[in-house]
Structure 1
Amino acid sequence: MGCFQFLKFMMFAFNGIIFLAGVAILGVGIWVKVDSGSVLNFLGKIDNMPTELSQVLNVGYLLIAVGILLVIIGFLGCCGAMKESKCMLLLFFIIVLLIFIAEVAGAVVILVFRPLAEELFNKVGQAAVKNIKQDYGNNTDVTGLWNSTMSTFKCCGFYNSLDFEGSPYYKSHNNTFPPQCCLNSGSACTNGTITGCFPKIRKLIDDNTAAIVGVALGIAALELCAMAVSMILYCRIKSESV
């Protein structure tokens, strides 16, 4: 097998996996949005599954978008390699390049403008706390989303349990916090002992920084290899057609 044929095979195999993954993700996303009743029944059969996890249905839109993107990339890569289509290979290269540039730009923004990011997080925190105090216990969507988040991450409020003081839930439950805020959920929660969601998620990210950076570098390396192979095939096909 020559080098050109080997690159074609690797391009086909790699993008075939991407295509199948995209189809699977797209299928799950469509199922979540179209057959929401079955999803809720499935979640309801899982032991100790919080009923508020029905909010997971909103993730369907994200799954559909990611699935479509992966299907397009995988299709262009597979067909472009096997049919030796310059147009498809070039489109594949451009799409992956745009994704790579967006990732690099995002990393630069996070590193260079970290102080601004801290300020942004503070503003988000203020908005989140205001949202809790106004709507938690009164708005079912807001209440369900916060309950789902707190149950999943074992946290309480955005910063801490004090975020719930003055909320509709706090007032209607004799000045007590949600049960997720106390270790002993069997009794009324009058003194929150669980860490806030923002500090807990931030600690989780800090503790796994090395793994996150490693995964990001691995994805970037795969993208660079995919772009290099697609451009090699493109140039080879172009030279043979001349």
Structure 2
Amino acid sequence: MASDKGYGYSLVKYFFFGFNVVVWLLGTSLVCLGVWLLVTKGPHPVITPSHSYLSAVAICIAVGILILLAGFLGYCGALLENQCMLASYFVLVILLFVLEITAASLSLVYKHEIKDTARVELLYSLHLTHSQVNDNPSTVVLSQAWNEMQTELQCCGVQNYSDWHVVMPESQKVPVSCCRLPNCEPKIRPLYYERGCLEEIEYWFVSHMYVLGVVAVTLGVVQILAVAAAILLFCSIKNNKFDV
């Protein structure tokens, strides 16, 4: 009986230990990705200037640090058989799970408000690309982000190409990234994309909803298993201490 108990305890311990090594590597990867984006794309690689804290850099680094902290607590808690660390790990994972559920629920309930806010922010960033000094680093980064997005999504402006006419009324042109063909004339309307980028972004999320759902469900299952393993290991350590 004692040997079976010891074998089961060791199995749970080392499984949990190995699982949190993977979690640690995931957190490290996200932090490295955020740092890479910061170095290569600048501090604000986003097209929503009023919400720069929601940039890819900020999200990657913040989530990466939280995952690193959770992995560290789980790793050390399993290795040192420390109940306090395991309890902290349990609380942190539950907190992350609740935040994910809350964010998903709010995005569904307030999807129309989110779309309206996104339209206002995109229009604001569009004006910033030409309202600031041309050699301003933030303006250069913003213009590059717009060019990359329009080329990748094959769109032009926020709602349509006319948004650029408001930004550049003196020329009534659109950026070259709006062109359907290489080196096209930005003044010839049939040669550039007429659909707005906001519509294309919404379409991208809808078309990838299945993939996003699978990722969300997988992440939720992994978190539930991690919490269950933490509870089991916590109880096993407690029982072993009482047995001794």
TM-score class normalised by the smaller sequence: 0.7 to 0.9
- Structure 2 gap ranges (5+): 1-5, 47-54, 133-138
Q: CA deviation at 1:80?
A: 0.8
CA–CA distance in 2 between the matches of 1:110 and 1:27? 28
CA–CA distance in 2 between the matches of 1:13 and 1:102? 25
AA of the residue aligned to 2:175: P
The equivalent residue for 1:83 is 80
Q: 1:26 to 1:211 in 2, by over 3 A?
A: closer
Q: Is 2:3 the counterpart of 1:3? A: no
Select which of 126, 135, 158 maps to 2:128.
135
The alignment yields a C-alpha RMSD, in angstroms, of: 2.5
CA–CA distance in 1 between the matches of 2:225 and 2:216? 14
The equivalent residue for 1:205 is 205
| Deviation larger for 230-239 or 141-150 | 141-150
Check conservation: 1:182, 1:194, Cα contact below 8 A. no
The equivalent residue for 1:105 is 102
Deviation by residue 1:155-207 (Cα, 9 ceiling, x = unmatched)? 22222111112213x52xx3111112220241222324243221112112111
SS at match of 2:143: helix
Check conservation: 1:159, 1:198, Cα contact below 8 A. yes
TM-score (norm 2): 0.78
- Structure 1 gap ranges (5+): 40-52
Q: 1:127 to 1:73 in 2, by over 3 A?
A: closer
TM-score (norm 1): 0.79
Q: 1:59 to 1:130 in 2, by over 3 A?
A: closer
Q: CA deviation at 1:31?
A: 5.5
Q: Is 2:157 the counterpart of 1:157? A: yes
Check conservation: 2:81, 2:237, Cα contact below 8 A. yes
CA–CA distance in 2 between the matches of 1:76 and 1:237? 15
SS at match of 1:166: helix
CA–CA distance in 1 between the matches of 2:77 and 2:222? 18
Q: CA deviation at 1:131?
A: 4.1
CA–CA distance in 1 between the matches of 2:212 and 2:60? 21
Question: 1:225-240 maps to which residues of 2 (within 5 A)?
Answer: 225-240=225-240
Select which of 111, 119, 122 maps to 1:125.
119
Runs of 4 or more off by more than 6 Å in structure 1?
A: none
